[in-house]
């Protein structure tokens, strides 16, 4: 498998890839976009940092591409949407430079409080000017942290060591996590009004672009200090320049910019109270070693079909969780393909309900496995990455429910498929026994118990009259079809019964027609679990 390393990563990362059997590693540092597009034609994976871009054109050219790895946190230089459509995993390395970036943020924080760079420049110019470099203490001041992810959390820990009060704005921050870190959750406007220092640690999205703009600066205290070591574009630089000019902002520190490098004419270059660094967040020996090796390991594992971690467009599962989920991933996939084939009309909605011990596990991978199974016979080239997008394009709404209701099984997955005419097909399944064999336990209102790993199933709804089993046995025997399992279920005598019949081979159309002609048969579905 061909892996293109488009930007230079640590030698340990390249060496790791070269040590793996079956990998052809191409170091293509400094390639132009056109050269990268040509190299990508037969590539299985591409690794980049911030210099090279994996565009929609690159992805369209790369017919074999399975994974794109970013040695760093941001994926602005990767067309994630185009990759997702193609089922290509996009991974980053969010953990490798966490400490390095947090420490750089705190360096900027300290430099905004005490004008060390400016005093150093003055001393190097032969001056001794103590009066011009008065600063402020961090002790008892309030730090506002926008985004309390990995890096924001590490900054908050360091601020607590300086006995600062920490306010945190993060829509996904739980109260429990805030208590653990010793920070106070705050609404954005309240944080802007109260903080003496504000540091930004948000991803760059449409919602967060220019989140600190002229309106935001107007809400802040006079003399506030602003820091950004996250992503360029989170701060409106023109508005920042105006706030520095007016004195509303006493000092600022930036490691990232809307345009990198900032143009020579940038107004930001004219303010002595603004400390600028050239995107040094991950520029430590330790961070470069960490992210290079981490991205290499992630890409190698993804190409081998193993544990996918740090994926930005698919669920990531750690090895211990994967051990627990593995049998349920198979169950979910089988249930998805089963319910698709017993629902005759176009489905408009799928509702997936988890209960029992499955309430305590991450169900994202299970959702995608079920969607992938559902789509197996509908369209080609579907995997865990693009399955949700394909479902959306087909107009199929999804609903996930977690139920604490007690049932007959320790864990259960229930799938309800609602068709366009208002009809519904419902199945339930679980894992039974030491073999962890997937089982169907319920279908359309009737309890059953059938192994889901048979090759084919006949699903019959019929009037509860004598002779159905005999008829079925005779027809199948006539066509030399072997029955592997059978489960009969009814809710009342003389009502409508369900018969699930597992088969070792596909029944010919003549056999199906003969069964359908029986006057007691209301409905017959053939479920193919093989893809043959």
Q: Is residue 55 part of a domain?
A: yes
| Domain endpoint, select from 427, 452, 477 | 452
pLDDT tens readout for residues 177-210: 899 999 999 999 999 999 999 999 998 888 899 9
In a domain, 282, yes or no: no
- Is residue 386 located within the same domain as residue 425? yes
What pLDDT shows up at residue 360?
Answer: 79
Indicate if 157 and 233 belong to the same structural domain: yes
pLDDT band at 482 (very low <50, low <70, confident <90, very high): very high
pLDDT of 389 > 90? The answer is no
pLDDT of amino acid 237: 97
Rounded average pLDDT over 376-389: 84
Unique residue bearing structure tokens 């865990």: 384
3-state percent breakdown (helix, strand, coil) of the chain, nearest 5: 35, 25, 40
The Cβ-side half-sphere exposure at 63, using a 13 Å CA radius, reads 2
Q: Which domain holds residue 524?
A: 454-532
**Domain co-membership, 486 together with 528:** yes
In this prediction, residues 54-66 reach a mean pLDDT of 95
Q: How many CB atoms lie within 10 A of CB 504?
A: 11
The answer as to whether 308 is a domain residue is no
The whole-number average pLDDT for the span 346-369 is: 87
- Say if residues 497 and 523 touch (Cβ distance below 8 Å): no
- CATH code assigned at 263: 3.40.50.720
Residue 309 lies in a domain: no
Residue matched to tokens 């504000």? 198
Residue 159 in domain: yes
Q: Are strands 456-463 and 521-528 parallel, antiparallel or unpaired?
A: antiparallel
Residue 113 falls within a domain, yes or no?
A: yes
Q: Which of 18-22, 48-52, 74-78, 320-324 has the highest mean pLDDT?
A: 18-22
- 12 in Cβ contact with 289 (< 8 Å): yes
Same domain assignment for residues 171 and 256? yes
| Same domain as 359, residue 240 | no
Indicate the average pLDDT of the chain. 91
User: DSSP code of 313?
Assistant: S
Which residue has tokens 């596909």? Answer: 506
Are 479 and 424 in a shared domain?
no
CA distance 368 to 389: 11
- Shared domain for 59 and 116, answered yes or no, is no
Domain shared by 323 and 342, yes or no: yes
pLDDT digits (tens, 9 = 90+) for 223-275: 999 999 999 999 999 999 999 999 999 999 999 999 999 999 999 999 999 99
Q: How high is the pLDDT of residue 406?
A: 61
420 versus 367: the higher-pLDDT residue is 367
Q: Is residue 325 part of a domain?
A: yes
Assess whether 147 and 255 both reside in one domain.
Answer: yes
- Examine the domain organization and report whether 268 and 136 are in the same domain: yes
Q: What is the pLDDT of residue 405?
A: 59
* Tens digits of residue pLDDT in 64-104: 999 999 998 778 899 999 999 999 999 998 778 889 999 99
Which residues are paired to 30 by β-bridges? none
Looking at the fold, whether 295 and 177 belong to one and the same domain comes out as no
Average pLDDT over residues 507-513: 95
Selected residue with higher pLDDT from 317 and 309: 309
pLDDT at 347: 87
Q: Where in the sequence numbering do the catalytic residues fall?
A: 231, 260, 279
Note whether 373 and 443 are same-domain residues: yes
At residue 503, the pLDDT reads: 95
Is 277 exposed, middle or buried (CB count within 10 Å of its CB: 0-12, 13-18, 19+)? middle
Number of domains in the chain: 4
């Amino acid at each position: 498998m061909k892996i293109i390393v488009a930007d230079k990563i640590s030698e340990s990362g390249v060496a790791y890839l070269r040590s793996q059997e079956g990998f052809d590693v191409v170091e293509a540092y400094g390639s132009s976009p056109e050269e990268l597009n040509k190299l990508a034609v037969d590539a299985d994976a591409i690794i980049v940092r911030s210099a090279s871009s994996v565009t929609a054109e690159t992805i369209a050219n790369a017919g074999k591409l399975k994974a794109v790895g970013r040695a760093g946190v941001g994926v602005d230089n990767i067309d994630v949407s185009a990759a997702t459509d193609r089922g290509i995993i996009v991974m980053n390395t969010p953990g490798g430079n966490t400490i390095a970036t947090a420490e750089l943020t705190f360096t900027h924080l300290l430099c905004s409080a005490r004008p060390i760079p400016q005093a150093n420049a003055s001393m190097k110019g032969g001056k001794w000017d103590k009066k011009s470099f008065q600063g402020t203490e961090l002790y008892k001041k309030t730090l506002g942290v926008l985004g309390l992810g990995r890096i924001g959390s590490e900054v908050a820990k360091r601020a607590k060591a300086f006995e600062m009060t920490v306010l945190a704005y993060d829509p996904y921050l739980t109260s429990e996590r805030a208590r653990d870190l010793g920070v106070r959750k705050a609404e954005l406007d309240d944080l802007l009004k109260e903080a003496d220092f504000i540091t930004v640690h948000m991803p760059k999205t449409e919602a967060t672009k220019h989140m600190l703009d002229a309106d935001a600066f107007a809400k802040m205290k006079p003399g506030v200090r602003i820091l950004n070591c996250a992503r360029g574009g989170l701060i409106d630089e023109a508005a920042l320049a105006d706030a520095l000019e007016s004195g509303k902002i006493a000092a600022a520190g930036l490691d990232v910019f809307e345009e990198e490098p900032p143009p020579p004419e940038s107004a930001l270059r004219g303010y002595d109270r603004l400390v600028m660094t050239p995107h040094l967040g991950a520029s430590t020996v330790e961070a470069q070693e960490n992210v290079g090796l981490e991205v290499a390991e992630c890409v190698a594992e993804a190409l081998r079909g193993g544990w996918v971690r740090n994926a930005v467009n698919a669920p990531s599962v750690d090895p211990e969780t994967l051990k627990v989920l593995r049998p349920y991933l198979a169950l979910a996939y089988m249930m998805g393909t089963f319910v698709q084939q017993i629902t005759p009309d176009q489905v408009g909605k799928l509702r997936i309900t988890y209960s029992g011990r499955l309430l305590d596990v991450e169900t994202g991978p299970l959702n995608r496995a079920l969607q992938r199974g559902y789509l197996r016979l509908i369209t080609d080239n579907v995997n865990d990455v693009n399955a949700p997008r394909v479902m959306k394009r087909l107009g199929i709404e999804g609903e996930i429910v977690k139920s604490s209701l007690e049932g007959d099984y320790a864990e259960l997955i229930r799938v309800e498929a609602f068709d366009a005419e208002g009809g519904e097909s419902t199945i339930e399944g679980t894992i039974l026994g030491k073999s962890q064999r997937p089982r169907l336990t319920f279908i359309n209102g009737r309890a059953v118990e059938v192994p889901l790993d048979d090759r084919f199933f006949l699903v019959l709804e019929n009037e509860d009259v004598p002779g159905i089993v005999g008829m079925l046995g005779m027809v199948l025997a006539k066509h030399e079809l072997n029955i592997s399992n059978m489960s009969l279920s009814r809710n009342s005598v003389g009502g409508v019964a369900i018969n699930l019949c597992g088969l070792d081979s596909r029944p010919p159309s003549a056999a199906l027609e003969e069964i359908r002609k029986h006057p007691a048969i209301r409905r017959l579905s053939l479920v193919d679990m093989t893809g043959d």
